[in-house]
């Protein structure tokens, strides 16, 4: 993949090539935006471009020794830092300080790509700040993050911040057709559901993903009839059986988004109606309730990313569904046949 082939992000690509043309490359760049929109791919291809031995206009040649090493991940002047477990740790940043103390080995620039910088532990963030305050020459730090607010403000202030945008559905559909081989009509439908995320589009393109969506929405439908006596074992089993609880919550948010848009826009055509992805008895839910539920599920999703207890957070999400979707939480109800019991 060349720099021009990174899907979408035309504004960001023009800005970066302008910096290169003017020879005003900063010591640190922050690329922010939602998951799956090409932050890491853009960072990698820009690293390839600024070290290309035979650049073609505003793009890399994709054929020289430097480009080939970058493509294979073997270039000595490309360093990639990822989370060690849930966080980027202090020793990883200290290692960077040692490795960037010398001039680049082969290229014009040594490029450090620090992925998901929002996962920096506080002490690691402070160590990175010291590194950015006195940056070693010919070293470029490229940080990627979901939101700049998730980083230390002092770190953000030391970076040239470029906010990336969700991808256009047409760009996603073209990529799916070209790389996955989907039929154009199928690619357009998945692109409309992907909400600007290429990663999400690739997941939805897998045949088993739509059946999984049906399964998750089946669980949502079951919540309506569950008493609180049966509710907690059900939620516990769901949390235990789920291979990817984040994806389960994404499925619910995707379906809720369709519901909200269906009730808000006159000419909106739901993309899930012919996939079998339906939940019965939601006509009582108001638009305000659906919006409230969406934001509650989003908050639960954030807690899961922060390694909260899966069972407890899923229970909270399911209670929110019972209240907002079906109009009652039934917190104190008993299952059928137990209502005449006294305590």
User: Does residue 213 contact residue 251 with C-beta atoms inside 8 Å?
Assistant: yes
| Residue 109 pLDDT grade (very low, low, confident, very high; cuts 50, 70, 90) | very high
- Nearest of 165, 169, 275, 282 to residue 221 by alpha carbon: 282
Task: Give the DSSP letter string of 59-122.
Answer: B--S-SHHHHHHHHT--TTEEEE--BTTBB-HHHHHHHHHHTSS--SSSS-EEEEETTGGGB-H
Alpha helices by DSSP H, listed for the chain, are: 10-21, 39-50, 65-72, 90-99, 122-133, 153-157, 169-175, 184-193, 198-205, 207-222, 228-241, 245-264, 287-305, 310-326
Give φ, ψ of 35 to 5 degrees: -65, 145
Range name among 1-15, 57-71, 144-158, 255-269 with the lowest pLDDT average: 255-269
**If you search the block for the tokens 């957070």, which residue do you land on?**
313
The domains of the chain are located at: 3-163, 206-326
| Residue 335 pLDDT grade (very low, low, confident, very high; cuts 50, 70, 90) | very low
Quickly name the fold that domain 206-326 has.
Zinc Finger, Delta Prime; domain 3 (1.20.272)
pLDDT at 328: 56
d(CA 149, CA 143): 13
Residue 23: Cβ-neighbour burial (10 angstroms; 0-12, 13-18, 19+) = exposed
User: Does residue 119 contact residue 91 with C-beta atoms inside 8 Å?
Assistant: no
User: Does residue 150 contact residue 118 with C-beta atoms inside 8 Å?
Assistant: yes
Q: How much is the average pLDDT of 213-241?
A: 87
Token pair for residue 134? 């006195």
**pLDDT tens string 144-192:** 999 999 999 999 999 999 999 999 888 888 888 888 788 888 888 788 7
Query: Does residue 92 sit in helix, strand or coil?
Result: helix
Residue 334: Cβ-neighbour burial (10 angstroms; 0-12, 13-18, 19+) = middle
d(CA 334, CA 253): 29
Indicate if the pLDDT at residue 201 is higher than 50. yes
Task: Give the DSSP letter string of 279-340.
Answer: -SS-TT--HHHHHHHHHHHHHHHHHHHTT--HHHHHHHHHHHHHHHHHS---TT---TT-TT
Q: What percent of the chain has pLDDT over 90?
A: 37
**pLDDT tens string 202-220:** 887 877 776 777 888 888 8
**pLDDT tens string 47-102:** 999 999 998 878 888 889 999 999 888 899 999 999 988 889 999 999 998 888 88
Return the biggest CA–CA distance within the chain: 83
Give me the residues paired with residue 145 across strands.
Answer: 32
Average pLDDT, the chain: 84
Distance from the Cα of residue 335 to its chain's centroid: 39
User: In the chain, what is the straight-line distance between the N-terminal and C-terminal CA atoms, in Å?
Assistant: 68
pLDDT at 271: 65
Q: From the CA atom positions of the chain, what is the Rg in Å?
A: 24
- Cα distances (Å, whole numbers) of residue 49 to 3, 58, 195, 260: 7, 8, 29, 43
pLDDT at 340: 45
- The CATH code of domain 3-163 reads 3.40.50.300
Residue 74: Cβ-neighbour burial (10 angstroms; 0-12, 13-18, 19+) = exposed
- Nearest of 115, 13, 107 to residue 67 by alpha carbon: 107
pLDDT at 92: 93
In the 8-state DSSP scheme, what is residue 22? T
Q: Phi/psi class of residue 129: alpha, beta or left (left: φ > 0; alpha: ψ in -120 to 50)?
A: alpha
User: Does residue 59 contact residue 154 with C-beta atoms inside 8 Å?
Assistant: no
Q: How much is the average pLDDT of 281-299?
A: 84
Q: Give 271 or 239, the one with higher predicted confidence.
A: 239
Token pair for residue 234? 């059900």
Total length of the chain: 343
pLDDT at 159: 94
Stated pTM of the model = 0.73
């Amino acid at each position: 993949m060349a720099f021009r082939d990174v899907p979408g992000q035309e504004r960001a690509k023009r800005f970066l090539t302008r910096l290169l043309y003017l020879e005003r490359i900063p010591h640190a760049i922050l690329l922010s935006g939602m998951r799956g929109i090409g932050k890491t791919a853009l960072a990698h291809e820009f690293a390839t471009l600024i070290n290309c031995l035979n650049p073609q206009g505003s793009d890399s040649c994709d054929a020289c020794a430097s480009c080939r090493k970058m493509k294979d991940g073997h270039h000595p002047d490309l360093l990639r830092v990822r989370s060690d477990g849930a966080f980027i740790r202090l020793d990883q940043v200290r290692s960077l300080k040692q490795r960037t103390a010398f001039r680049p080995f082969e290229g014009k620039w040594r490029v450090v790509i620090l992925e998901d910088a929002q996962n920096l532990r506080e002490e690691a963030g402070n160590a990175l700040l010291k590194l950015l305050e006195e940056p070693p020459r010919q070293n470029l730090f490229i940080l990627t993050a979901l939101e700049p607010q998730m980083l230390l403000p002092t770190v953000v202030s030391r970076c040239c911040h470029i906010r990336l945008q969700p991808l256009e559905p047409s760009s996603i559909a073209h990529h799916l057709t070209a790389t996955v081989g989907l039929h154009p009509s199928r690619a357009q439908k998945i692109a409309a559901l992907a909400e600007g995320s290429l990663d999400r589009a690739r997941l939805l393109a897998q045949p088993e993903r739509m059946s999984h969506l049906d399964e998750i929405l089946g669980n949502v439908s079951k919540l309506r009839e569950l008493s609180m006596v049966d509710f907690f074992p059900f939620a516990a089993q769901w949390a235990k059986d789920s291979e990817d609880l984040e994806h389960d919550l994404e499925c619910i948010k995707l379906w809720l988004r369709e519901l909200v848009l269906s009730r808000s826009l006159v000419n909106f055509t739901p993309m899930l109606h012919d996939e079998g992805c339906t939940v019965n008895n939601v006509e009582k839910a108001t638009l305000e309730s659906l919006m409230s539920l969406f934001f509650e599920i989003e908050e639960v999703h954030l807690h899961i990313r922060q390694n909260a207890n899966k069972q407890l957070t899923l229970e909270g999400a399911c209670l929110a569904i019972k209240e907002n979707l079906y109009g009652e939480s039934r917190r104190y109800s008993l299952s059928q046949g137990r209502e005449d019991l006294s305590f």
